[in-house]
Structure 1
Amino acid sequence: MARRGGELEAFIAFLGGLLAAGLAALTMAGVGLAARPTPALRTAAMVTLGAIWLTVTTTVYLRLKPRIRP
């Protein structure tokens, strides 16, 4: 029986994106302790984290999504 829907793949991709964004946030927090970030730099960091999360989530999902074979 073939499984359809892709819910498991979507959940795994979401968690992968969350993990990547979390690791990037920890790295940015460590750098922020060494140098005082400006408000503009904080905004750029938030945009970067969002971009990392979206990119990793989409990439992982597309890699896990089963291919339809004729």
Structure 2
Amino acid sequence: GLGFDCKGATRQDVTLDLLFYPTQQITVKVEYRHDWATQQVFLRSDGSYSRNNDLLGAQFIYSF
């Protein structure tokens, strides 16, 4: 074909955020994200590919 037969992976994600306000100037944000796909598209640390990916992050924000 002319490239129209090639179909990529379908990707989806879900994210959960938690915000904490210990003081008026400080905001702490914790985020968890889970991604998944119909094909193995996420590169792992050992060089292999996976259909799932998880991410955990945190932010510390100081406002002045």
TM-score, normalised via structure 2 length? 0.29
Higher relative contact order (CA 8 A, sep 6+): 1
* The structure with more radius of gyration: 2
Structure whose residues are more often strand by fraction: 2
Q: Normalized per residue, which structure has more helix?
A: 1
Give the TM-score, by structure 1 length. Answer: 0.28
